[in-house]
């Protein structure tokens, strides 16, 4: 479900989920090359739903997360809800907080996963300070979500923290 159009003058990676983002479509219409427009719009015109897995490129996931959140002035917590084939069901902004905290409610994250019939999650949040190092609270919250989700058949693939200075992957740090 990722559409990577390469590095273009507009500097965007467009993210295509079940309902294409109108803002991305407008950017592409105004600034995209004919080849990019054809690649993005032709399947939509035929009414096809893309069948490519979300995680076809981990660097694309990181690029999308950094583009979406790394430079936000307030903490944001997002969840990428995935189906059993790791295709994106939806990317949802769950919470927006303050400059150094956003509330996360594990019960609500898992409740939403059940509503969407998601079998896997990727948790993502930003650190407006720029430093993506996980805090003790980040680690504890992630462990709680993993513990609540696991008995219900929902896997937490990763928790990614993004900031201006890079990103941290809980999976890469062996925290999940």
> For the segment 138-175, what is each residue's pLDDT rounded down to a tens digit?
999 999 999 999 999 999 999 999 998 899 999 988 88
CA distances from 161 to 3, 47, 88, 142, 170 (A): 22, 35, 19, 11, 8
Q: Is pLDDT of 4 > 90? A: no
Q: Is pLDDT of 76 > 60? A: yes
Put residue 113 in one of left, alpha, beta given phi > 0 → left and psi -120 to 50 → alpha: alpha
Instruction: Work out whether the CA dihedral 14, 17, 21, 25 comes out positive or negative.
Output: positive
Q: How confident is the model at residue 16 (pLDDT cuts 50, 70, 90)?
A: very low
Tell me the domain boundaries of the chain.
2-52, 70-169
Q: Please report the pLDDT score of residue 81 as a whole number.
A: 95
> Could you tell me which of 106, 92, 89 has the C-alpha nearest to residue 149?
106
Q: For residue range 17-72, what is the model confidence (pLDDT) as tens digits? A: 333 444 555 666 666 677 766 666 565 554 444 444 445 578 888 888 888 888 88
Strand order in the sheet with 120-126: 88-96, 76-82, 120-126, 155-163, 166-169
**Which one of 3.40.140.10, 3.20.20.70, 3.40.50.720, 2.60.40.10 gives the CATH number of domain 70-169?**
3.40.140.10
**Helix %, strand %, coil % of the chain (to 5):** 35, 25, 40
Q: Please report the pLDDT score of residue 63 as a whole number.
A: 84
Q: Please report the pLDDT score of residue 74 as a whole number.
A: 93
**Residue that has been written with the tokens 């303050």 in this structure:** 98
Q: For residue range 82-136, what is the model confidence (pLDDT) as tens digits? A: 999 888 899 999 999 888 888 999 999 999 999 999 999 999 999 999 899 999 9
Scanning the chain, the segments in alpha helix (DSSP H) are 22-31, 34-45, 58-69, 106-115, 136-149
Q: Please report the pLDDT score of residue 30 as a whole number.
A: 66
């Amino acid at each position: 479900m990722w559409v990577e159009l390469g590095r273009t003058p507009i500097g965007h990676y467009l993210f295509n989920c079940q309902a294409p983002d109108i803002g991305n479509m407008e950017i592409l219409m105004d600034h995209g090359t004919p080849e990019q427009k054809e690649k993005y719009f032709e399947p939509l015109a035929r009414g096809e739903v893309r069948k490519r897995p979300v995680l076809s490129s981990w660097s694309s996931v990181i690029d999308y997360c950094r583009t979406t959140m790394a430079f936000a002035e307030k903490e944001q917590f997002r969840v990428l809800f995935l189906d059993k084939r790791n295709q994106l069901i939806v990317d949802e902004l769950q919470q927006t907080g303050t400059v150094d905290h956003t509330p996360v409610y594990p019960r609500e994250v898992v409740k939403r996963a059940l509503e969407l019939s998601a079998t896997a999650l990727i948790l993502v949040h930003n650190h407006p300070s720029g430093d993506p190092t996980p805090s003790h609270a980040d680690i504890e919250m992630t462990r709680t979500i993993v513990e609540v989700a696991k008995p219900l058949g929902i896997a937490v693939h990763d928790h990614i923290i993004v900031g201006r200075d890079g990103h941290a992957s809980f999976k890469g740090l062996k925290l999940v």
